Amino acid sequence: MDHRGGAATPAAPLPGTSNTREVGGFHTEDGRSVAAGLLYRGDVLGLPGTDAECLWNEVYADVYRSLGLRVVVDLRSDAEAELVPSAWASETGARLVRAAIPEGVEGSATDFMRMLQDGEIARFGPDDLGIWYQQVLERRASVFGDAVRVLAEPDSYPALVHCHAGKDRTGLLIAVILETLGVPRPQVVHDYTMTGTYRAGRAEQHAGLLQGLGLRVDDVRTFWETPAHAMQAALVHLDTEFGGPAEYLHVAAGVSRPEIDSLRRFLLTEAAQ
């Protein structure tokens, strides 16, 4: 992590992954920082032989196991987890915690690929993604709460949170956690947008499919990208409706104030001078 100017540059992805990285080093408004080596965010790492973009590779096994993971929180739907079991827990010995958020995936009411193929959607921009994020935060508040309660337990660290790509569901949970810890919003949003840097070109990979549907890549590229505006809109929504992400966790997600205090106690440290 780069701490120049009191900020932290999001860590680069672990080898063999597209978007699994440490969440640490960010300075908070009260002069502390997010502790290093405790919390990771990522994409799924599938078992060999499964249809996953990133697969468990023995070449990097020592790197993955050296994280010392004790808990892996999998935000994917039951169908996703059944199709591609997460190797993060099974191959590291960590405890697997399922906290399913099915929005946006195959078989859900917001199955975006189906909606594109059926002609229900022809355009999808940053405003649309921001509204969808707001809806997910409200509809799945209890699930986000379940995940945070696990992370408020002392024996959960180091911990990894992942979904399919580490973009939307993981992005929302990590943003809420970072804001609750007191990380300035510009840094929180920047961490989210880095997924778009690490997973660049994903929209173009679907150009052939989109062309066959009579769609332009630029009209729907937000499906695969991380525009700052979308996350900013989601967090402003939590400000307006609940008084901020921490209050959202307490009021909507059912996380007790002592649990929020525990989250802060475990993940924050005094900033190095």
For the chain, what is the total number of helices (H) and then of strands (E)? Answer: 14, 7
> Would you tell me how many other CB atoms lie within 10 Å of the CB of residue 196?
20
How confident is the model at residue 4, as a pLDDT?
32
How confident is the model at residue 107, as a pLDDT?
44
How confident is the model at residue 173, as a pLDDT?
98
Q: Global pTM?
A: 0.92
How confident is the model at residue 2, as a pLDDT?
43
Q: Domain extents for the chain?
A: 4-269
SS3 84: coil
CA 263 to chain centre: 17
How confident is the model at residue 75, as a pLDDT?
97
SS3 211: helix
Beta strand pairing status for 21-22 and 39-42?
A: antiparallel
Beta strand pairing status for 95-98 and 71-74?
A: parallel
| CB-CB contact of 48 with 65 (8 Å) | no
**Type of residue found at 22:** E
> CATH homologous superfamily for 4-269?
Protein tyrosine phosphatase superfamily (3.90.190.10)
Which residues in the chain come in under a pLDDT of 70? 1-8, 104-111, 271-273
How confident is the model at residue 272, as a pLDDT?
61
CA distance 24 to 116: 37
| The token pair that represents 177 in the structure block | 């956690």
**Nearest 5 degrees, angle CA 19-CA 20-CA 23?**
110
Taken in order 202, 204, 210, 216, is the CA torsion positive or negative? positive
Taken in order 153, 133, 45, 115, is the CA torsion positive or negative? positive
| The token pair that represents 121 in the structure block | 């959607």
> Would you tell me how many other CB atoms lie within 10 Å of the CB of residue 73?
26
